[in-house]
Structure 1
Amino acid sequence: MRTIHRTLAAGLIAAAALAGAALPAQAHDTGEPHEPAVPIAAQNKLIAEVRAATARFHDVDVAIAAGYVPVGECVEGPDGSMGHHFMNPALIQPGAPVDPAKPPLLTYGPSPSGELRLWSAEFFEPDVGQPVPMFGSQPFDGPMPGHEPGMPVHYDLHVWIGAHNPAGIFTPFNPALHC
């Protein structure tokens, strides 16, 4: 079961409260067969943008200096691990277009030598009635209930840019990693 620190819930509640009434139009999956909204090459470009934007955050101290704060214990479940979540509350903007250069959360896990190493970027949006957020042609997971009291219904999407995930680059848990 996910364990997310109350700081995350408080930050997300505040971010949801700041959400405006006007939401930008975003692509969403209607369930009908269709061509991908973003070609594979463009999707790979978005992933490369996330990797480039987070390269400096391989050092967790740099992430902390940039406004990311630890928000809970290492999240692990039967499907593998997500890692330790670090949230930048200033980057949670419900209904705003997804900016691949500004992931609101980063996840870290132990390296073989014991230091924290960057595992993934996580995009997070409280549900304010917007269409399913998209990362290029990849829909976010959700909407899902908060993982603890006070956490809003939300969408999220992991992008495994620091550690290979054999289950897929957008899969929430990584079966190859453990806390």
Structure 2
Amino acid sequence: MKFLVPNQLTSIFSLLIFTSLLCSCSMEDTATTENDLFTADLKAEKLENLEDQLKFVRQSTMKFHSFEQAAKAGYAEDLPFNPSPYVPQMGYHYINVGLMDGVFEMDKPEILLYVPNEDGELKLVGLEYAVPIAASPEAPEGFMGEQDHWVENPNVAGGAWTLHVWMPLENPDGIFAEFNPNVPLSDPSL
């Protein structure tokens, strides 16, 4: 079953990704934080299986439970393009354009998925990795094993490979499923 993305979402994603690909300048912050050191220590460990990888991702993205931390990390920049319109069973997509470099890095998802509660407070529900097809004609290796199935999304700047990871919100359809029935069909704050 294919999910049709509204034209507005397609235009926003396309413009955002196209802009990031045109801008070859790096937006890296050279300041080292305590969390960066924690993540670097985790990278040094040998990740032997999918469970280890998912634990690593969970630990390295814990800070994004706070939307303020996500904003400080670059996920709320490039307004008015962030966030995307609300996508049923996904939520709002907040993209960190600086991470759209064509490289899969477990601890650096390009997109964070949030759903507001009834009071409008954003709650992290999932992560999404996005690798432009122009940078990787084949689906990235991604996680160990055969469970992660990258989706070719032609609606993102001429095409991108995307992969959802449903954490912290559990997904009865699987951690890598494209949609999550536990995410409301519409914005609960409206």
CA distance in 1, matches of 2:118, 2:170: 15
| Matched length | 150
TM-score (norm 1): 0.73
CA distance in 2, matches of 1:106, 1:157: 12
Partner of 2:62: 55
Contact 1:133–1:140 (CA under 8 A) maintained in structure 2:
no
Partner amino acid for 2:5?
Answer: R
> 1:20-54: CA deviations, max 9, x gaps?
xxxxxxxxxxxxxxxxxxxx961111111211111
Q: CA deviation at 1:134?
A: 2.3
SS of residue matched to 2:49: helix
2:182 pairs with 1:170: no
CA distance in 1, matches of 2:133, 2:154: 10
Partner of 1:32: none
Contact 1:47–1:161 (CA under 8 A) maintained in structure 2:
no
User: Is there any run of 5+ residues in structure 1 with no aligned partner, and where?
Assistant: 20-39
2:88 pairs with 1:92: no
> 1:56-97: CA deviations, max 9, x gaps?
110111101110023311101xxxx11100000011112x2x
The share of aligned pairs that are identical, in percent, is: 27
Partner of 2:42: none
Partner amino acid for 1:141?
Answer: W
2:141 pairs with 1:134: yes
Partner amino acid for 1:126?
Answer: P
Name the structure, 1 or 2, with higher relative contact order (CA <8 Å, separation 6+).
1
> 1:131-174: CA deviations, max 9, x gaps?
21122234442323116xxx321110000112011111001111
Partner amino acid for 1:131?
Answer: E
Partner amino acid for 2:152?
Answer: P
TM-score (norm 2): 0.70
CA distance in 2, matches of 1:6, 1:67: 21
Q: Name whichever structure is richer in helix by fraction.
A: 2
